[in-house]
């Protein structure tokens, strides 16, 4: 839990924050202020991104205990709890919504009369920071311009009240332990805890792309990273029975399911690939087997992407990681596509990829020891510096169009139910 918590602004995190001790004090927080990053610098179409973020928040909370209202007001997005709720589950759900930079649990003050506001704020500080040996700074914002005190006056007067009530506290305007935020609107919002969100852009705001999903570590991470940039994903997987079995298929579907908390609703298209691989083995040089196989994968993914109105392909390729991912080999595989190929992992080390896989919950499934089509008929000495012209010549021995048509005709679509 402590890794999730950071104090707002540039304050030192004393970790006096117990984050309201989860469920025991969950009802203290009647709302959550949602902070977003890049959305805030959008122009006239910013509202489109804000509403997309609100839709994603509503979707993420659909299975959480309790009822919630998601609203937008003056550049802020709020999630208000209308009933009792599970605090930990709400934080877990919101922390997987792309577009959220921070989640701030909020205490609401319905009566903005000054003495009442001071009492509520003081009670909040006493409950949240029982040690009281800390420094603080009040950040006040008067959104309701009819309120009799201006922002600077609210900050100064509230600081004076807190110092009188808690003699062990001090004010530090440069590097406080606690940044106490008070936003006066129709109601007053009081908060000092800021839980990091995943950042990025709301899913669906940057179009749709086709992810080539294998059973390995890399492709689920690639899907996560592209979804983080606001891209809705479709998924394609290549199966080669009897060389790949039912367990390999279940593994891939499990990986897709593990991505749903981040990516939302998903569908996996499973393409029969056995005939293509056997034809390549019979008619093409062994050192080009993986390269030509990858070209067929890209062709089929491109065909399906066009049909589903995707605007790009996404792969988990990483420069130099294996023989088929040299710069020359990537040029050979991309030669058959008609749309951009996005490779978010291209410059990452394996350790970085594994760290993300663990974070998003796909690592343990990815390392299950089941064969996938990429490990079938692996050449002993694969070509690492192929040329496009030479590869095309070897590939001309195959009935490319017929093989692709039969593979597409045998495809299967599986819808993945989102999990929390």
- pLDDT, position 254: 97
Mean pLDDT of the region 404-412:
97
pLDDT in tens, 6-63: 333 334 333 333 433 334 454 689 999 999 988 988 888 999 999 999 999 999 999 8
pLDDT at 21: 38
DSSP of 9-28: TT--------GGGGGGGGGG
CA angle centred on 143, ends 141 and 147, rounded to 5°: 95
The closest of 62, 10, 3, 58 to 34, measured between CA atoms, is 58
Tell whether the model's pLDDT for residue 2 goes beyond 60. Answer: no
Between β-strands 232-239 and 68-73, what pairing exists: parallel, antiparallel or unpaired?
unpaired
pLDDT value at position 201?
Answer: 96
Can you give the pLDDT at residue 420?
66
Q: How far is CA 354 from CA 25, 92, 315, in A?
A: 35, 21, 16
CA distance from start to end of the chain: 18
pLDDT of residue 271: 97
pLDDT value of residue 52? 95
Alpha-carbon distance 420 to 416, whole Å?
13
| Local confidence band at 417 (pLDDT 50, 70, 90 cut-offs) | confident
Assess whether pLDDT exceeds 70 at residue 220. Answer: yes
How remote is the C-alpha of 364 from its chain's centroid?
18
What are the pLDDT digits (tens) for 129-161? 998 899 999 999 999 999 999 999 999 999 999
Higher pLDDT, 101 or 8: 101
Q: List, in order of start, the domains of the chain with CATH numbers.
A: 2-196 (3.30.2130.30), 208-416 (3.40.50.620)
Whether this prediction's pTM lies above 0.95 is answered by no
Tell me how far CA of residue 400 lies from CA of 277, 290, 300, 313, 394, in angstroms.
12, 16, 11, 20, 12
- Distance CA(411)–CA(237), nearest Å, equals 10
Distance CA 206, CA 419 (A): 23
> Is-contact 286 379, C-beta < 8 A?
yes
pLDDT band at residue 370 using 50, 70 and 90 as cut-offs: confident
pLDDT digits (tens, 9 = 90+) for 165-180: 999 999 999 999 999 9
């Amino acid at each position: 839990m402590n890794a999730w918590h950071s104090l707002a602004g540039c304050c030192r995190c004393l970790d006096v924050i117990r984050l309201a001790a989860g469920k025991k004090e969950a009802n203290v927080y009647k709302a959550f202020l949602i902070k977003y990053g890049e959305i805030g610098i959008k122009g006239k179409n910013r509202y489109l991104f804000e509403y997309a973020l609100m839709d994603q928040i509503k979707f993420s909370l659909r299975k959480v205990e309790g009822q919630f209202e998601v609203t937008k007001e003056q550049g802020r997005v709020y999630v208000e709890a209308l009933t009792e709720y599970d605090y930990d589950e709400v934080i877990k759900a919101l922390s997987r919504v792309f577009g959220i930079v921070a989640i701030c649990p909020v205490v609401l003050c319905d009566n903005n009369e000054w003495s009442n506001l001071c009492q509520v704020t003081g009670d909040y500080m006493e409950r949240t920071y029982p040690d009281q040996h800390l420094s603080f700074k009040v950040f006040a914002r008067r959104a309701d311009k009819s309120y009799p005190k201006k922002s600077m006056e609210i900050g100064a007067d509230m600081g004076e009240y807190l110092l009188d009530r808690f003699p062990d506290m001090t004010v530090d305007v440069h590097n406080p332990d606690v940044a106490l935020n008070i936003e006066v609107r129709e109601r007053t919002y009081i908060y000092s805890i800021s839980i990091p969100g995943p950042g990025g852009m709301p899913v669906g705001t940057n179009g749709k792309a086709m992810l080539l999903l294998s059973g390995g570590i890399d492709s689920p991470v690639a899907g996560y990273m592209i979804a983080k940039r606001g891209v809705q994903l479709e998924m394609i997987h290549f199966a080669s029975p009897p060389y790949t079995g039912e367990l390999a298929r279940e593994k891939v579907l499990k990986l897709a399911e593990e991505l749903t908390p981040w990516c939302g609703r998903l569908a996996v298209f499973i393409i029969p690939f056995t005939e293509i691989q056997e034809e390549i083995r019979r008619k093409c040089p062994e050192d080009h087997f993986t390269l030509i196989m990858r070209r067929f994968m890209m062709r089929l993914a491109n065909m399906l992407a066009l049909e589903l109105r995707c605007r790009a392909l996404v792969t988990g390729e990483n420069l130099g990681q294996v023989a088929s991912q040299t710069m020359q080999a990537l040029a050979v595989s991309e030669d058959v596509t008609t749309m951009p190929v996005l490779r978010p992992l291209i410059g990452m080390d394996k350790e970085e990829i594994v760290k993300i896989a663990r974070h998003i919950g796909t690592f343990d499934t990815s390392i299950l020891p089941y064969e996938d089509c990429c490990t079938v008929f692996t050449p002993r000495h694969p070509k690492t510096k192929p040329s496009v012209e030479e590869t095309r010549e070897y590939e001309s021995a195959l009935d490319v169009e017929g093989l692709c048509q039969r593979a597409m005709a045998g495809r299967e679509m599986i819808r993945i139910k989102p999990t929390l």
